[in-house]
Amino acid sequence: MRYAIVSDIHANLAAFSAVLDHIGHQGGVEKVWCLGDVIGYGPDPNECIEKLRQTDHVWVAGNHDLGAIGKISTNEFNPDAAASCHWTGRQLSSEDVEYIENLPLVIEEGDFTLAHGSPREPIWEYLVSNSIARENFSCFTSQFCLVGHSHVPLVFSHEEDGPYSAGRFSDNVKLILGTSRLIINPGAVGQSRDGDPQASYALYDSQIGIMKLYRVPYDIRVTQDKMVERGLPTRQVARLSQGM
Ligand code: ZN
């Protein structure tokens, strides 16, 4: 089976459409694994939810998904994120709210555990350091774990009774899924924060056991113009082209 792993779409329809086109050009997938934050920050929440729901998918809830429907408080959000979240909430249909309401926080799919932040704290934890990864390896039982939330493509690995290691998940390596346990972040579709403003996602082919990261260019101006039109926070508009 072939899977696309997408995270942090953040209501960026131009980025998500470019990624879906790119997936099509790679021969398509049977299933989309979405690691949460489909909405929040960006200008097109309904369209992104609809596009995802048109695919065969699983979606674990992110903090922005739950913040927008009022299931978690936005007190922990920075002021821009909270403002975007409240705007997003006002755009959602009652059907979307009900759908998000029922999203799982953690889900197991074959050899993979999927969570937005981390398996230990699926909504809030940023899994960005070796020490945090080390603690999280005991919080899931499958061989592999997929997370998003930090918007930075990363791979943490742990050999049984052996060392832990961490590194960037770059787009020019084939990640061979062997015997090591791995925690993998595919980066963000809709709001990169690793200095490269292109969309980021991963493809996994279970037959050959290989995962590959892709960076996909998209028309950032289209999203930025819509954000300005909708009165969304200007700092969030600017950071899209900086990839930070
Ligand atoms: Zn996010």
Q: How far is the CA of 18 from the centre of ligand 1 (A)?
A: 18
Closest CA to 125 of 177, 67, 192, 63: 63
pLDDT in tens, 147-205: 999 999 999 999 877 777 888 999 988 999 988 999 999 999 999 999 999 999 999 99
Number of domains in the chain: 1
Closest CA to 48 of 4, 107, 92, 2: 92
- Supply the pLDDT for residue 127: 96
End-to-end CA distance of the chain: 33
> Domain span at residue 24?
2-242
As a whole number of angstroms, the distance between CA 185 and CA 104 comes to 18
Read off the CATH number of the domain in which 38 is found.
3.60.21.10
pLDDT in tens, 4-26: 999 999 999 999 999 999 999 99
pLDDT in tens, 87-130: 999 999 999 999 999 999 999 999 999 999 999 999 999 999 99
Q: How far is the CA of 50 from the centre of ligand 1 (A)?
A: 18
Q: How far is the CA of 91 from the centre of ligand 1 (A)?
A: 18
Q: How far is the CA of 64 from the centre of ligand 1 (A)?
A: 7
Q: How far is the CA of 2 from the centre of ligand 1 (A)?
A: 24
Please return the burial class of 126, using the count of CB atoms within 10 Å of its CB with bins 0-12, 13-18 and 19+.
middle
* pLDDT category of residue 29 using cuts at 50, 70 and 90: very high
CA 238, chain centre distance (Å): 20
CA distances from 239 to 42, 56, 86, 140 (A): 12, 31, 20, 33
- pTM check: above 0.85: yes
Please name every residue paired with 31 in a beta bridge, in sequence order, or none if there are none. Answer: 3
